[in-house]
Amino acid sequence: MLGMSGRLISRTTGASWLPPGSDAEVWAADIDSIDSVGFVRNVVPAPDSVYAYPTAWAHVPVLAVDGAADPVVDGEWIDLERARDALGTRHWWPVVEHRLTAPR
C-alpha cells in the first residue's frame, strides 16, 4: 500500500454484499496528500460474474469533507447529530466513529 499506513478496526466476515467467501475490512488510515479518515478494503478471493471491482483487494477511501460541498450523487449531507442514528449500522461506520473520537 504505497503512501498508506493504517490499522484494522473492523471486519465483516462473509460480507453479504460481496461474492461468497469475501470479507469487508475497515481501516483507520492516513493517505498521503488527502484528508483521509480511512478506507474499506473488500477482500474477494474468488469474484463472481457480477463483481466488477479489483481482486483480491479493492480499497475504497473514506474522506473528510470540509466546508460546503454539493453531493455528486443523489442524496444529501447530514449533520453529526443525525449521523450515528442514520448511518451507524453501515459496515464503514467504525472508521468514521474512530475519526470522531480520536484525540486531535
Model-level pTM?
0.59
The set of residues, in sequence order, having a beta carbon less than 8 Å from that of 96 and lying 6+ positions away, is 37, 62, 83, 87
Amino acid letter, residue 57: W
CA–CA distance, 53 with 50 (Å, rounded to integer): 9
Nearest partner of 18 among 41, 40, 42, judged by Cα: 42
CA distance 49 to 77: 33
Single-letter residue type at 37: V
Angstrom CA distances, 64 to 6, 81, 95, stand at 16, 16, 11
Q: What amino acid is encoded at 78 in this protein?
A: I
The answer to whether residue 95 scores a pLDDT higher than 70 is yes
68-87 confidence digits (pLDDT tens):
667 777 878 788 788 889 98
Q: Is the pLDDT of residue 4 over 60?
A: no
DSSP label at 50? T
* Cβ 11 vs Cβ 24: under 8 Å: yes
